[in-house]
Amino acid sequence: MLRPELAALAAAPLLGRPERTLPPAKTDIARSYGGCRVLVTGAAGFLGGLVTRAFLDAGVEEARALDRHEAGLERLERNLRDAGRHEALRVLLEDAGDEAAVRRAVDGCDLVVNAAACKQVPFAERFPRRVA
């Protein structure tokens, strides 16, 4: 059950802009974002890694993969390099909670996907503003 204080959080006020959703199919992603520069936070995680791969497959000009998990970023980079899909990848070892680092990372991007998150649901429920 979602706690009331989490249900009341709307994306637009937190983002400072209207919420946008990604197209559902890879072909739509390619049509919409091919040639763009994107930033994926939490890129070393399961969801962030999938999103980063989808953007690379879509032919983005640059996919910036930001995460604080060094081993996870190295694994992502190695897997993409081994698959020959790394040319547009730029790995950024940074914390998504570091405002200055995120400002540098987002500079020049057309799209940002925030997949960075706390892994423990009870912790995320207790500290919802630290999870975003």
* DSSP codes, 45-113: SHHHHHHHHHHHHTT-SEEEEEES-HHHHHHHHHHHHHTT--TTEEEEE--TT-HHHHHHHHTT-SEEE
Q: How many CB atoms lie within 10 A of CB 119?
A: 7
pTM for the whole structure: 0.71
pLDDT computed for residue 117 by the predictor: 76
The label of the residue with tokens 């730029």 reads: 90
Dig out the tokens for 16 from the structure. 């400072």
pLDDT along the chain (132 residues), means of 10: 58 68 60 86 93 91 95 95 90 93 94 82 73 58
DSSP code for 25: S
